[in-house]
Amino acid sequence: MSELDLYEREPVVPPEDYVRMHHTVIRDFVCEIFTAAGLSDEDAQIVTDVLVTADLMGISSHGIQRVKRYVDGLMHCCVNPRPNMRVIRDRGATALLDADNGLGHVAGVKAMEIAVEKAEKYGVSLVLVKSSHHYGIAGYYALKAVEKGYIGISVTNSEKLVAYVNTVTKSLGTNPIAVGIPRRAPPPILFDSATSVVPVGKIELYAKLGKAVPEGWVVGSEGRMLSGDASKVLQEIRSGRAAILPLGGLGEEFGGHKGSGLAFIVDIISGVLSGAAWGLHVRYTVDTAPANVGHAFAAIDIESYMPKDEFYRRIEDYVNEIRSLKKHPSADRIWVPGEKAWYTMMTRLRIGIPIHKKLCDELNSIAKTLGLSRKLC
Amino acid sequence: MSELDLYEREPVVPPEDYVRMHHTVIRDFVCEIFTAAGLSDEDAQIVTDVLVTADLMGISSHGIQRVKRYVDGLMHCCVNPRPNMRVIRDRGATALLDADNGLGHVAGVKAMEIAVEKAEKYGVSLVLVKSSHHYGIAGYYALKAVEKGYIGISVTNSEKLVAYVNTVTKSLGTNPIAVGIPRRAPPPILFDSATSVVPVGKIELYAKLGKAVPEGWVVGSEGRMLSGDASKVLQEIRSGRAAILPLGGLGEEFGGHKGSGLAFIVDIISGVLSGAAWGLHVRYTVDTAPANVGHAFAAIDIESYMPKDEFYRRIEDYVNEIRSLKKHPSADRIWVPGEKAWYTMMTRLRIGIPIHKKLCDELNSIAKTLGLSRKLC
């Protein structure tokens, strides 16, 4: 595994623009910001852990660069810093949590805890959440179930960014699907994927790196494919003149109906069925009314179906078989879902998380606005 | 809706090669074949209904053209015509059904019945099946739950046809995901999709129509993309010299890790966790040992989360919003998942199912071999 010893899934270029910091230093600082913005200590710790975990995993689009967005929502409109999150329906293996417009991270952790308790009792469970906000990386919650030995599933809707198949404007969220599968030893299997051809974070990363967006990721609202300069493409998406394509692309030839169909189903279960908003109606974190994001969490008790040892043995066999497949000449390596995130996390726990200097300034400025005297770097 | 009055999703060309027959005539004939091949009357009716429903829905690849495959499996090896299907684990909202190497259609109907009963009691359920065979269209079972007013989910693994991301040989099944959502009035929403870029049935259809396979569907085992003559491409896949690509394509740029990740997760839940075979080990219906296919069925009681009327109202709003989106200039229409199949079914219930004359001959010949004197056409 030596080639993975310093593995990071995201390139850190140019390195002189970044400061590497130990995750605990970042945690303390971010947690203080959220507390100053009105969250309870416990909730501040939860949100911080979700964000810092994303950075550790090399998903910086969902990491502490989002602190500003959440703090803006908390300070202006419409995130409730002290939500009274309540289970408003509870029946057998199901529950519905009203997140009272609090942050999605807090709701997600609570809901997955309930899902695991219910799976312990009934073998499987499905807990929905309404009146929530953006919850960060979907995989975080799946891993919360995995930590307790359960298969965890987490899906959410999100503000519109993606075109429905054969249409050209934003109507669906990137509506990710995350599934975590325990293994005898880490890394667990973690599938965590937007149902769009790429998450918006990937286009943001391309913009930062000055890379060109390939044809097939984004459609303009007049029907033309947009490619090239990622900053410009991003601007078109933000301004409503373009949309990210669903997984499978614009039409049906390569399965655009599959990607947008998955996004639609995720939205029906997490949004329509929960009582949250859906599609066109899900708002951004900072807006004139609450986002009303909906999430869904399921847990599966492996022991309902087979002894855990047998399951672990079978999973190891499967993983080994995947590793032995014939690699395409263009591929660097055959990856199992979750490995890239896991090995990046192992690297960054050791050598620190690279924080862009501009992000550092932004966080310092947020802290100052909130009356804190500390600086991150 | 007049433009949909004679809608059929599959072209019937050239029409002179087909005979249109009323579905009840086909049903009687096919059912008699399965009874003669050793199935009980009840099981023969179930299998027949799944196959004829596929033909009604315009998914002829999964229709009665598969009778030969199943009968061959029943007569030679290794489908058990009189399986003793038993629930071998039953705990709360979960169950595990051993299909005793019977046909997947029979196992699927039984398992979804259990899933609905359990969802009625616990709000949600997950029933797995092992030691099964190919079960036809995944959507059939999702619709069985929908008929009873539940959200139904059905997934299965299948014999290897698809390449894992960045690899070039067959290692995964087309492992479909089907989700059915009830509506106040038909058609229900039915998402039913292989996790590969296309199902093999689409390549078979292209071969029949003499259409060219586009680049991006199939990779040869030396890493070259295969396109063009669909019959040749199909031959390469069948002979093990090529594989269908996952949804999202060969590499990660357009999400091949997403399609193959979904196939992998479907396989873990339906195959690994159930005790069935997975990936490389799932066999074809006719082989030297049982296929050991695994399936998974979930049902969700809408009333656990909100009154059904409210859910129906919300779904209608969502569907109407989708219909109002801005269509891409190249698209004929904005379709909601399940509509193509539904309107084809409505058409074919009225004007009959087109049966290719060669298929008719094949079915007549199967009937004759089984000692039946009737002919289909």
Q: Are residues B275 and A305, on separate chains, in Cβ contact within 8 Å?
A: yes
Interface-testing mutation among B151, B174, B265, with chain A (most A C-beta atoms within 10 A):
B265
Of A250, A269, A334, the CB nearest to B167: A334
- Cis peptide, bond prior to residue A360, ω within 30 of zero: no
Q: Exposure of A356 by Cβ count < 10 A (0-12 exposed, 13-18 middle, 19+ buried)?
A: middle
The minimum CA-CA distance between A30 and chain B, rounded to whole Å, is: 32
The minimum CA-CA distance between A238 and chain B, rounded to whole Å, is: 18
Enumerate the residues of chain A whose CB falls inside 8 A of the CB of residue B262. Answer: 177, 191, 193
pLDDT of the residue at A11: 84
Model pLDDT for residues B162-176, shown as the tens digit of each residue: 999 999 999 999 999
Report percent pLDDT > 90 for chain A. Answer: 96
Domain that holds residue B357: 1-76+338-377
Mean pLDDT, rounded, for B234-255? 98
Report percent pLDDT > 70 for chain B. Answer: 99
Enumerate the residues of chain A whose CB falls inside 8 A of the CB of residue B123. Answer: 91-94, 126
Enumerate the residues of chain A whose CB falls inside 8 A of the CB of residue B126. Answer: 123-124, 300
Enumerate the residues of chain B whose CB falls inside 8 A of the CB of residue A96. Answer: 304-306
Q: Are residues A123 and B92, on separate chains, in Cβ contact within 8 Å?
A: yes
Model pLDDT for residues B280-330, shown as the tens digit of each residue: 999 999 999 999 999 999 999 999 999 999 999 999 999 999 999 999 999
Instruction: Report the chain B residue with the minimal C-alpha distance to residue A196.
Output: B255
The minimum CA-CA distance between A363 and chain B, rounded to whole Å, is: 32
pLDDT of the residue at A139: 98
Residue A61 lies in a domain: yes
pLDDT at B11 over 90: no
The minimum CA-CA distance between B353 and chain A, rounded to whole Å, is: 25
| Angle (CA) B262 B273 B70, round 5° | 80
Enumerate the residues of chain A whose CB falls inside 8 A of the CB of residue B226. Answer: none
- Domain count across chain A: 1
Residue A72 lies in a domain: yes
DSSP state of B3: G
CA-to-CA separations, B225 to A61, B199, B221, B244, B250, in angstroms, rounded: 33, 17, 9, 10, 9
Q: What are the φ/ψ torsions at residue B10 (nearest 5 degrees)?
A: -100, 135
Interface-testing mutation among B122, B205, B250, B314, with chain A (most A C-beta atoms within 10 A):
B122
Model pLDDT for residues A7-42, shown as the tens digit of each residue: 999 889 899 999 999 999 999 999 999 999 999 999
pLDDT at B363 over 70: yes
Residue B312 lies in a domain: no
Enumerate the residues of chain A whose CB falls inside 8 A of the CB of residue B193. Answer: 255, 257-258, 261-262
Enumerate the residues of chain A whose CB falls inside 8 A of the CB of residue B325. Answer: 164, 167, 169, 171
**Greatest CA separation found in chain B?**
57
Enumerate the residues of chain B whose CB falls inside 8 A of the CB of residue A165. Answer: 334-335
Q: Exposure of B6 by Cβ count < 10 A (0-12 exposed, 13-18 middle, 19+ buried)?
A: exposed
Model pLDDT for residues B50-62, shown as the tens digit of each residue: 999 999 999 999 9
Of B179, B255, B314, the CB nearest to A272: B314
Enumerate the residues of chain B whose CB falls inside 8 A of the CB of residue A261. Answer: 191, 193, 337
Enumerate the residues of chain B whose CB falls inside 8 A of the CB of residue A225. Answer: none
pLDDT at B2 over 80: no
CA A249, A253, A257, A262: dihedral to nearest 10 degrees?
A: -70
Enumerate the residues of chain A whose CB falls inside 8 A of the CB of residue B217. Answer: 254
Can you list the residues of chain A whose pLDDT is less than 50? none
Q: Are B219 and B237 in contact (CB under 8 A)?
A: no
Q: Are residues B126 and A89, on separate chains, in Cβ contact within 8 Å?
A: no
The minimum CA-CA distance between A4 and chain B, rounded to whole Å, is: 19
Of B165, B305, B318, the CB nearest to A274: B305
Interface-testing mutation among B9, B211, B304, with chain A (most A C-beta atoms within 10 A):
B304
Q: Are B246 and B226 in contact (CB under 8 A)?
A: no
Residue B301 lies in a domain: no
Q: Are A106 and A129 in contact (CB under 8 A)?
A: no
| Angle (CA) A319 A141 A173, round 5° | 100
Enumerate the residues of chain B whose CB falls inside 8 A of the CB of residue A223. Answer: 328-330
Instruction: Report the chain A residue with the minimal C-alpha distance to residue B179.
Output: A265
Q: Are residues B126 and A124, on separate chains, in Cβ contact within 8 Å?
A: yes
CATH number for the domain that contains residue B362: 1.10.1530.10
- Three-state secondary structure string covering chain A: CHHHCCCCCCCCCCHHHEEEECHHHHHHHHHHHHHHCCCCHHHHHHHHHHHHHHHHCCCHHHCHHHHHHHHHHHHCCCCCCCCCCEEEEEECCEEEEECCCCCHHHHHHHHHHHHHHHHHHHCEEEEEEEEECCCCCCHHHHHHHHHCCCEEEEEECCCCCECCCCECCCCECCCCEEEEECCCCCCCEEEEECCECCCHHHHHHHHHHCCEEEEEEEEECCCCEEEEEHHHHHHHHHCCCEEECECCCCCCCCCHHHHHHHHHHHHHHHHHCCCCCCHHHCCCCCCCCCCCEEEEEEEECHHHCCCHHHHHHHHHHHHHHHHCCCECCCCCCCCCCCHHHHHHHHHHHHHCEEEEHHHHHHHHHHHHHCCCCCCCC
Handedness of CA A20, A22, A23, A25 (dihedral sign): negative
Q: Are residues A189 and B268, on separate chains, in Cβ contact within 8 Å?
A: yes
The minimum CA-CA distance between B300 and chain A, rounded to whole Å, is: 9
pTM of the complete model: 0.98
Q: Are B246 and B195 in contact (CB under 8 A)?
A: yes
pLDDT of the residue at A104: 98
Mean pLDDT, rounded, for B214-227? 98
Of B123, B221, B223, the CB nearest to A91: B123
Q: Are residues B311 and A219, on separate chains, in Cβ contact within 8 Å?
A: no
The two three-digit tokens of residue B233, written as one number: 């491409």
Residue B303 lies in a domain: no
Of A214, A253, A272, the CB nearest to B315: A272
- Rounded (10°) angle between helices B41-56 and B138-147: 100
Interface-testing mutation among A169, A315, A325, with chain B (most B C-beta atoms within 10 A):
A325
- Cis peptide, bond prior to residue B182, ω within 30 of zero: no
pLDDT of the residue at A1: 52
The minimum CA-CA distance between B74 and chain A, rounded to whole Å, is: 28
Give the C-alpha separation, B300 to B7, whole Å.
Answer: 31
Confidence of residue B1 (pLDDT cuts 50, 70, 90): low
Residue B148 lies in a domain: no
Helix (H, G, I), strand (E, B) or coil at B196: strand
Model pLDDT for residues A132-144, shown as the tens digit of each residue: 999 999 999 999 9
Interface-testing mutation among B126, B164, B280, with chain A (most A C-beta atoms within 10 A):
B126
Give the C-alpha separation, B82 to B102, whole Å.
Answer: 7
pLDDT at B141 over 90: yes
Enumerate the residues of chain A whose CB falls inside 8 A of the CB of residue B261. Answer: 191, 193, 337
